[in-house]
Structure 1
Amino acid sequence: MVETKTQLNIAVIGAGYWATSAHIPGILQHKKAKLIAIQNRTLSKAAQIAADFGADLSFDDYRTLIVTANPDAVVISSTPNVHYEQAKFALEHHKHVLLEKPMTFTVAQAQELCELAEKNNLQLLVSCPWHYTRHGIEARRLIHQHILGDIKMISVLMTNPVDKLLKGINTSPTHGMNHAYLEPGKGSYSDPKIAGGGQIYTQVSHAGAYLSFLTGKQPAEVYAKFDNDGSVNDIYNALNISMENGALITLASTGATPLSVRNYEVRVFGTRGILLLELWKGTMVYYPFEGESRHYRELSEEEIYPDRAPVINFINTCLGLEENGSPGELGLAAMKIIEAATQSNKTGKPINILQTS
């Protein structure tokens, strides 16, 4: 947390599909935040978004916004290819930063941003809504307080219907959202030069961060295979991961699934119990080796994916009211998995992250 302020002036850089769907509505609902400026590569779009959402200033250049509008904090929801340069510029100019995932293109870039935020005593938050569900927070507590014992294995299955986005096929309405203010720009998900890659960058960036969120541990080794299904981007990912404490992880992920049957299953196996989470279904069950099982109260539809939670926590953290629930280090952990998995898929060999760090 930082020194308490009475109001946080925020600017949004890269205002598009996700910013107008989640971040900006979250800013507007917070009584101690003020949206002061909008940036979009197209100035007319920036001006329209600013007018529609009540910001006074609009820009097509993020540097001019940061210097001229002088916000306390920025939300960066641009395409991944410019995350690093925009976040670095903001941190160098002493602005708190909420950064969309994937955090960057490379581990080195993510590491630099984390170090810069720490050096300048700034908040750096990576937007991962699943870090804010009560099931996720309780699962982390059970693991950190050793209630499950030593964590030996975690199994993750993550599917989400984004394969058409990754292949560059028209997907309106995106993610089944019938009332999106803006649709993603052409190539935002399908051009590797813009998005970094396919499923590994778009979705495993969630799961990779979640592993360290739950366990508090860093990935140590990754072996991975991808299937592009005829695309320039990976559509199917299968990863074997070893964490620094020796825990074994299997992570399978694909963007090729109907919306009605998407999965995000996390199975945590400890020496004293097993924890079963269904993140898209909002269920969690704890099975101790001794004693009765516990079925946690199901999440409501609104709680399953709390898309405004990251920016609300970001505001509160910058105001000194809460702890950072999704610090940049979790995005860095995800980038370690993404980078190693991509390298492993190319070489056919396991990648020892600890030796390359």
Structure 2
Amino acid sequence: MGDKNTQLNVGVIGAGWWATSAHIPGIMQHENAHLRAVQNRTKHKAAQVARDFGADLAFDDYRELVLNGSVEAVIVSSTPNMHFEHARFALEHGKHVLIEKPMTITVAESRALCDLALKKNLQLLVSCPWHYTRHGIEARRLIRTGVLGDIKMISILMTNPLYELLKGINTAPTHGMDNVYTQPNVGSYSDPLIAGGGQIYCQVSHAGAYLNFLTGAQPEEVYARFDYAGSKTDIYNALTITMDNGALVTLGSTGATPAAIRNYEVRVYGTKAILLLELWKGNMAYHPFKGKPEEYSPLAADEIYPDRSPVLNFIDACLGLAANGSPGELGVAAMKIVEAACISDKYGKPVKTKDI
């Protein structure tokens, strides 16, 4: 393992809304990390973030940040259309990378980043906070050790009140987050050329990675239908997914829901037991076919969506203090579902992920 006294110098590409809300505070929280540099496309914004959060350097060109010899690890928190370019450049120049979801726009790009990180012996972590809750980690153990038996079916309902963001109507409410340092730019979530799509890229990317995180299974076939609700980006998604372990998955997701109503229901049906998770509510229950059910202690409010956990784990992984809890391969699995779903909706037929 690494030296707990070593300090990691971190640079942040795309120092905007989410970086200043989660990643940068996480860097500042970690005792073995230092915010060395920040980048924003606008020079004065980069300088302002550096001043307000204590970064040493500010850039408007991401290449200058990466090429700075003192930067050892890079967080890519730019818009999705730039993730691949930014992460590839950082990896090519020997920097560990944490990349925001959606990992990239295509499966091929995600695979290329994983291959490059492996070749360079660098950490590549996809930022999915759900992978760090104690319920998620325990659910993964139960599923992967066979406590539930063979997994036959998984049902997911994922909703989050961000349709105004996806439609470009209003960036201010940012689905329930108050007092943010800065708001998302117009178009960052509503322009498909920037965001890749709407709900499918923004939120189903979470659920796609979570499926692989829990089960280790890969998606083989996806059939999907979208409803755009008058928007340029998809607002409602209904997916049927067949996994390579034979499990059948139904996944429904939308950003059109009242601010007070969030659902992230994951129901896992095995041949020996079922597992019921309510991620937004912090609840989990185990129901065996034989024996007593178990209600797990609810998550505290600050445990439900641990938005700093990816960067905290990333720093530890870079320093050799912990294993990578959300490796890039999970992002590849998510992108298989996302890209296949987009193709399926466009052509109205099931899509084999091997054909992407």
Same fold (TM over 0.5): yes
Name 1:319's counterpart in structure 2. 319
Q: Note the alpha carbon deviations across 1:16-72, whole angstroms, 9 max, x for none.
A: 000000000000010000000000000000001001111110000000111125411
Whether the 8 Å CA contact 2:199–2:254 is kept in 1: the answer is yes
- Structure 1 runs of 4+ off > 2 angstroms? 1-5
Name 1:50's counterpart in structure 2. 50
Distance 1:78 1:70 in 2: 21
Distance 2:177 2:261 in 1: 16
Aligned length: 356
Name 1:219's counterpart in structure 2. 219
| Pairing 1:1-357 to 2, within 5 Å after superposition | 6-354=6-354, 356=355
Q: Note the alpha carbon deviations across 1:90-122, whole angstroms, 9 max, x for none.
A: 000010000000000000000000000000000
* Unmatched runs of 5 consecutive residues or more in structure 2: none
Distance 1:121 1:243 in 2: 29
Whether the 8 Å CA contact 1:240–1:249 is kept in 2: the answer is yes
Q: Note the alpha carbon deviations across 1:178-205, whole angstroms, 9 max, x for none.
A: 2100000110000001000000000000
What amino acid maps onto 1:59 in structure 2? F
Shift of 1:173: 2.8
Distance 1:292 1:203 in 2: 34
Distance 2:175 2:199 in 1: 15
Partner-residue secondary structure (3-state), 1:189: coil
Partner-residue secondary structure (3-state), 1:232: coil
Partner-residue secondary structure (3-state), 2:117: helix
What amino acid maps onto 1:94 in structure 2? G
Q: Note the alpha carbon deviations across 1:296-329, whole angstroms, 9 max, x for none.
A: 0000000000000000000000010111000000
Shift of 1:4: 7.6
Residue identity over aligned pairs, in percent, reads 69
Partner-residue secondary structure (3-state), 1:261: coil
Distance 2:197 2:220 in 1: 22
Whether the 8 Å CA contact 1:5–1:320 is kept in 2: the answer is no
Aligned-residue CA RMSD (Å): 1.1
Shift of 1:172: 1.3
Partner-residue secondary structure (3-state), 2:68: helix
**Change in CA separation of 1:29 and 1:343 when aligned onto 2, cut-off 3 Å:** same
What amino acid maps onto 1:348 in structure 2? G
Partner-residue secondary structure (3-state), 2:104: coil
Whether the 8 Å CA contact 1:287–1:293 is kept in 2: the answer is yes
Shift of 1:85: 0.3
Partner-residue secondary structure (3-state), 2:260: helix
Partner-residue secondary structure (3-state), 2:242: strand
Whether the 8 Å CA contact 2:10–2:36 is kept in 1: the answer is yes
Partner-residue secondary structure (3-state), 2:205: helix
Distance 2:349 2:173 in 1: 39
Shift of 1:353: 1.0
Distance 2:352 2:189 in 1: 28
Q: Note the alpha carbon deviations across 1:320-342, whole angstroms, 9 max, x for none.
A: 01110000000000000000000
Distance 1:188 1:14 in 2: 12
Shift of 1:213: 0.3
Distance 1:80 1:211 in 2: 21
Partner-residue secondary structure (3-state), 1:71: coil
Shift of 1:5: 7.2
Distance 2:251 2:300 in 1: 26
Whether the 8 Å CA contact 1:57–1:69 is kept in 2: the answer is no
Q: Return the TM-score normalized by structure 1.
A: 0.98
Distance 1:192 1:60 in 2: 24
